[in-house]
Structure formats: structure tokens, C-alpha cells
Chain A
Amino acid sequence: MSSFVLYTITGLGLAGLYFLLASGLSLIFGLMSVLNLAQGAFFAVGGFAAWMVMDLLGDVPLDLRFVLAVIVAGGAGAAVGTVVERGFVSRIYGSHVRQILLTLGLGTAGVALLGGWFGWDPRILQQPAWFVQTTQIAGANIPNSRLLILAVAVVLFLALMVFLTRTRHGLIIRAGVENPSMVRALGIDVGRSFTIVFALGGALAGIGGALGAVYFNGISPGLGTDQLIYAFIVVVIGGLGSVPGTAVAAVIVALTQVYANNYLQAGLGSISVVVLLAVVLLIRPQGLMGRVRP
């Protein structure tokens, strides 16, 4: 029982990371039909930004420093996302294949750039001592960092939902995911929303990178790209463009992975997730909550 609770909360922490990586991906795809292969690089940028804050601001107390690190990671991710959209993707509207290839090039070069600067070995993030201590929940000793990651992801999910449902920009994004041409025909410049979703996706992935550096015990340039496959799977299972769908799918995928690894055989988790994707695509190609078929 106690191991079940541990696996479940570990899985939910992983789900939080998947959600942070996948929600931006889903919005970008839903709105622009662009599969953003650079999203993994955004994650890594956030991770290294957080690492630098922790490493350079030695005088600041650890707790406060970590809060700063997460904020800087989100900001760095948003900045990179904005640059990628404004500077590159927006130059070739009208050809989705070229845009996807462009993000492939940016992702590859971006990860290699980080590798050139920081090296390929994981950098360990300094963290407050209470992160590695445990809290007892239903008889299981849960590392506090897992709970923190889960809490941050839930807060960001709620914030994102508030943004999407309560603001005009959010409204435009939700409408644009359904039918960007009609949004334009109402006199709205969807191009601005494109920049917003890239910045938003970058910020979420960047924060994911900072938290991922805690979850995976270090940040390396390829970490985000390694997780990107699972983020894609989450996006497709959840339904392209649906943020609640992404959240639900992140939980399903992460729990499947963690349970399979621990109850079946180590290593089977990832394969189970792939099988899950194949099944979902064959039964319900539009995903759990998708409105449009991909």
C-alpha cells in the first residue's frame, strides 16, 4: 500500500512535468498546426537558467533563490519562445512542413549550443535541504520535491485555465484553435496570439526545466528532448489544442509509465506508453478531448 502511494505521487510529479512540457506544445499545435520540435530545447534553457541562478547568487538564502530560479527559468523560456516565433517561425507562414522543419533545426542547434556551453554531463541543481526530506502520507515516505513539483504544476494548470477562460487573449486562443480563419474574419490579428502561445509555451517548458532539474537530479542539454517524445504522446492522447485534455493525458501517461516500471518490469514503462498511444490513435484519433482530428 505504502509503495503504491509512493509510486502514485511520483507518477503525479512526472505528470506535472509532462503537463508543463506538453501544454504549450498542444496550444501551439492547436492554433498554428506547428509541431514545435524546439520545445525540448525550451525546457533545457529553463533548466540551465535555474542552475545558473542557484550557482551564481550564492548569498541569497536557498529557499528564496529557488523561487527566483523558477521565475528566471520561466522568463528565459518565454524569451526564447518569443524569439523563435517572431524571428523564425513567423517568417514562413503558410507552410507548416517548413515551420516544423525549422523548429527541428532550432531544437537541434539549441541543444547543441547548450552542450557547447555547459557540456553534456548533468549539472546538479543546488536545492533547499527540505526538498530531499520526506513527508509521510498514508504510510508512505514521499520526497518533498515530488509534492512541490506536483503543487507547482497544479497551480500553473489552474492559472492557465483562468488565462484561457477569463481573458480576451485566452478567448482568442481558444477560438483560434477551432478556426483561425474565422477569428481573422472578425478583425482579430491571430498573429499576435501565435507569439503569445509560443511565449507561454516557452515559459511553461522553462519552469518545467527548472523543476525537471530537481526531479531528474540534474539538468543536461538533452533532457528536454528526451522527455519531448512523452510530451508528444501526451498531446496526441489528450487531444490537440485541449489544455484540460493535456492535463488528463499527462496523468494517464505518467502513471502508466511509473506503474509499469515498478509492477511489471523496469524499462517496460516507456513501451507501455507507446502501446497506449497506438491504441488511443486507432480507437479515437482525435484524442480524449480533442475537437479536431489531427
Chain B
Amino acid sequence: MTPDAAISVTDLHVWRGEAHILHGVSLTVPRHQVTALMGRNGVGKTTLLLAIMGLLPATGSIRMADTELVGMPTHRVAQRGIGYVPEDREVFGGLTVAENLRLAERPGSDPRYDHVFELFPDLQGRLGQVAGTLSGGQQQMLSLARALLEPRAVLLIDEPTKGLAPIVVEHVVAALQRATEDTTVLLVEQNLWVAEQLATDVIVLDHGTVTYTGGMRSLVDDPALAGRHLGVEVR
């Protein structure tokens, strides 16, 4: 394990039902920076986050500091300081915004409501609103706010801009830029522009294995490389 790695994954295999999704993935998530996890649809990016959270059974190793996370119950993984912002937000639609946030408080801690409301002022005025009636962008902010309410060692963020209108995307990206300063983040992102704004490094997955690891800039500046790994035309 490299000394500056927040999380290191070694030879991880994950199945969903009978489908073998991750075939021996090994990667490290560097400390105090944003790392983008990219690749085509269905290559296992979300699966990797779910496995780290203990929401899918896995074999292999996921280490955080000196702790092995494989086999650990989800709530214990979260208690280790991993914040999770899932794909599709997964806010509790029948609960109010305030209740959604209260669930994220750790008993006996000092939740950072000021910090969260500074990032997402929209939420402060809607504390009594039922989360299911929020717009997609507001739900995304609530989902991020839940993860940011307590200080976290690592944030796992899954496609925060998926399905949002371009203006909202810019707003979310701006908030994320401020929120993730000096924080360890593993960010799943399909949108290259968003990844470029936020991430320092990038890891590309394909067919359940890692095909590229390196700086975000070098990927973006080399259209051939980006095209090969992401199957996209860059600009």
C-alpha cells in the first residue's frame, strides 16, 4: 500500500447475482484529491462503489488505512468515515429535507450545518419540504449535503450530474469544487467536462478491469488516448 493512498483495492472480484462484474480490479485512491473513475456504461464503476460500501459481496481486498473493508457490514464501513452519494441520489422521498439531514448526523458529533447550507443555500429554505417533491437538482444537493454534513475521510460520489439540466450541472460542479477541496474523493463520472473540472487523476475501467491510470490532464490533452479509453471524441 502506497503511503499516500486513502483506499487501496487489490484483486477485487464482484458478482451481481450470477454476473461476474469486476474481474480482479486493483487500484489506489490517492489522499486529499479528487480521482475520477471513468469508462463506458456497465463496466462496473457503480459496482465498485457498492462493493467498497459493503452493499455487494466481494472477494479480494479493499483496505483503508490498516482496516480491511471486505466483509465488513455497510454501517461499519460508513462509520469509518466513508461518505456515499449514490447514483440516482436515493434521498428518502417520504421524509423532509431536515429529516434526511438528521439521519446523516452521527450521534454525539457536531454536524456541520453551516458548511452544508453555505454550499447549498437552496436547502436551508426547504427544510420542512418532503424530499420526494424536490427537483432533481435539489435532490442531488440534498444527497451531497447528507454526505458532507459530517467530516469524512473519503467521499464516494456516483454520477452527481446525471440527468440534470446544464445550468444545474454547473451549479453542482461549482459546489463540488468548493466542497471537495483537500478531500479524498472517488468520483464516478460519464461527463468528461465535469470530470475535468473536478478531478486531478483518472482511473478508467473496461470489462471489469483497470485499463488506464494517470493524470486527468494527460488524458484530456491526448484525444487519441481519451478516444481509445473512453470511446468518446474529445471536443
Contact = CB atoms under 8 A, between A and B. Distances in A.
Contacts of B93: 178, 291
Given A171-B99, A181-B55, A186 B78 contact: yes
B103 A175 contact: yes
Contact of A190 (B54, B75, B94, B104): B75
Interface string A174-211: 11001101111111111000000000000000000000
Interface of A: 168, 171-172, 174-175, 178-179, 181-190, 291
A187 B106 contact: yes
Interface string B68-93: 00000111001100001010001011
B92 A182 contact: yes
A141 to B, nearest CB: 43
B53 interface: yes
B13 interface: no
Contacts of A183: 103
A186 B84 CA distance: 8
Nearest to B99: A171
A224 B104 CA distance: 39
Interface of B: 53-55, 73-75, 78-79, 84, 86, 90, 92-95, 99, 102-104, 106-107, 146
A173 to B, nearest CB: 11
A175 B53 contact: no
Given A183-B103, A186-B78, 9 more contacts: A171-B95, A171-B102, A171-B103, A174-B95, A184-B75, A185-B75, A188-B75, A188-B103, A190-B75
Contacts of B54: 184
B86 A184 contact: no
A196 to B, nearest CB: 15
Contact of B75 (A174, A175, A178, A189): A189
B53 A185 contact: yes
A182 B84 CA distance: 9
Given A171-B102, A181-B55, A188-B103, A291 B78 contact: no
A185 B95 contact: no
A39 to B, nearest CB: 24
A185 B86 contact: yes
Interface of B is mostly: loop
A58 B118 CA distance: 66
A258 B45 CA distance: 56
B147 to A, nearest CB: 9
A175 B73 CA distance: 18
Contact of B92 (A175, A184, A187, A190): A175
A185 B103 contact: no
Nearest to A175: B92
Nearest to A181: B55
A65 to B, nearest CB: 41
11 contacts: A171-B102, A172-B103, A175-B95, A179-B90, A179-B92, A182-B92, A186-B75, A186-B146, A187-B75, A189-B75, A291-B94
B20 to A, nearest CB: 20
A184 B73 contact: yes
4 residue pairs, one from A and one from B, having the closest CB atoms = A187-B78, A184-B74, A185-B84, A187-B79
Nearest to B102: A171
Nearest to A177: B94
B53 to A, nearest CB: 5
A187 B73 CA distance: 10
Contacts of A190: 75
A185 B92 contact: no
Given A181-B55, A181-B74, A186 B94 contact: no
A185 B102 contact: no
Nearest to B84: A185
A175 B95 CA distance: 7
Contacts of B99: 171, 174-175
- Which one of B75, B102, B106 has the greatest number of beta carbons of chain A within 10 Å? B75
A184 B86 CA distance: 12
A178 B132 CA distance: 11
A51 B19 CA distance: 56
Contacts of B106: 187
A46 to B, nearest CB: 30
Contacts of A182: 86, 90, 92
A291 B132 CA distance: 11
A186 B55 contact: no
Contacts of B75: 184-190
B106 to A, nearest CB: 6
Contacts of A174: 92, 94-95, 99
Nearest to B90: A182
B112 to A, nearest CB: 15
Nearest to B156: A185
Contacts of A188: 75, 78, 103
